Amino acid sequence: MTNASSHITDGGADPSYGSSYHVPVLCDAVVEHLITNPAGCYVDATLGGGGHAAALLDALAPAGRVIGIDQDAEALSATRARLSDAVAAGRLQVVRGNFERLAHLLTDVLELEAIDGLLLDLGVSSHQLDEADRGFSFQQEAPLDMRMDDRQGLTAHQVVNDWSEEDLREALWTYGEERAGARIARAIVDARPLDTTTALADAVRRVVPTREEVKTLARVFQGIRIAVNRELKALEAALQQAVDVLQIGGRMAVISYHSLEDRRVKRFFRHGNLQGEPRRDVYGNPVTPWNELTRKPLRASDAEIEANPRARSARLRIAERIAEPDLPAVP
């Protein structure tokens, strides 16, 4: 078996599969619950620093393989280097793309028929947050960018400077779940032009109490980041397309970091649609392509949270692709 983790250059053969790029959360649970066929084909559609991919490769049989997708070029080159042996052995294929177009990437670009498992570990990586010039963090001065994919046109600068006050308020309310969204949107519009993360943070600070500053800034930056990267649209698209690309018996695992994501995943895994409405056939049987394996999401242990505080908000949900339910024989 290829020991993918042996390519971790910083921290050695770390059993947690972490690197200075990113420490993967709930790694053991992902491996344990996602793999149903050790010789199968698994897609990590949020490759990042490759921690989960490395763990999957180690757990799979030599014939098992992983397709790693990310829209961020830095993630792909870091992971290509980290897991170069697996790439050379043909066990890891690294692809730049947005999981919003998952079915197109897998079917048209890679010409795959069906996959055995799919992982989405949502949001941004530690590397993206730590790299000041990416503009994701309110703690470091940088141009307002926040794009995961630098080929994309829309930047945080445009959202902050060009969007109407109403659209900005909507983004802060909906994506940042920020109750003071109206006041903050007004403050941002009044302070324009805003060119940097720190200028944006200062405009927000002017209208929030000091004791709420950090949490408010986190919500504001989250809201703008989600708007820039159209994160919820991409998640919804990937959930819907997963039904078509997974084999019957294959599994999907999603790690969410806030309730906007988790709510969508929960509804989709429970009822097979994004509205969360149970559908029944004429006999009253639930009609869904999923068997939800986690009624309650799996959470990180205290020890994992202590070692990696980012794990605190992580929720892992897993579902198995099932055939449409057999209809009872008509008497």
Ligand X SMILES: C[S@@+](CC[C@H](N)C(=O)[O-])C[C@H]1O[C@@H](n2cnc3c(N)ncnc32)[C@H](O)[C@@H]1O
Rounded CA separation 302/325 (Å): 39
Q: In what order do the strands lie in the sheet with 315-321?
A: 92-96, 65-70, 41-44, 115-121, 246-256, 315-321, 290-292
- Per-residue contact flags (x/-) with ligand X for residues 14 to 43, judged by CB under 6 A: --------x-x-------------------
C-alpha distances out from residue 272 to 170, 225, 240, Å: 28, 27, 9
Of 329, 323, 150, the C-alpha closest to 247 is: 323
- Window 233-272: residues binding ligand X (CB under 6 A): 234
Our CB check for ligand X shows the closer of 129 and 220 to be 129
> Between 50 and 289, whose beta carbon lies closer to ligand X?
50
Among 52, 91, 219, 225, binds ligand X (CB under 6 A): 52
Does 71 help bind ligand X (rule: CB under 6 A)?
A: yes
Whether the ω angle into residue 24 lies within 30 degrees of 0, i.e. cis, is no
Indicate the residue whose CB is closest to ligand X. Answer: 48
Draw the binding track, 140-159, toward ligand X (x: CB under 6 A; -: no contact): --------x-----------
DSSP 306: H
Among 31, 72, 157, 172, binds ligand X (CB under 6 A): 72
99 is a site residue for ligand X (CB under 6 A): yes
Please, which residues bridge with residue 119 across strands? Answer: 44, 253
75 interacts with ligand X by CB under 6 A: yes
CA distance 11 to 23: 11
Is residue 125 part of the contact set for ligand X (CB under 6 A)? yes
Burial pattern 40-62, b for ≥16 Cβ within 10 A else e, equals: bbbbbbbbbbbbbbbbbbbbbee
User: How many chain residues bind ligand X (CB under 6 A)?
Assistant: 22
Interstrand relation of 246-256 and 315-321 (parallel, antiparallel or unpaired): antiparallel
Are 36 and 56 contacting, i.e. CB atoms less than 8 angstroms apart?
Answer: no
Q: How far is the CB of 178 from ligand X (least distance, A)?
A: 21
Nearer to ligand X, 71 or 216 (CB): 71
Q: How far is the CB of 182 from ligand X (least distance, A)?
A: 28
Considering only the stretches 60-68, 70-78, 194-202, 266-274, report the one whose residues sit in contact with ligand X under the rule CB under 6 A.
70-78
Q: Tokens standing for 78? A: 């870091």
Q: Which residues bind ligand X (CB under 6 A)?
A: 22, 24, 46, 48-52, 69-72, 75, 98-100, 121, 123-125, 148, 234
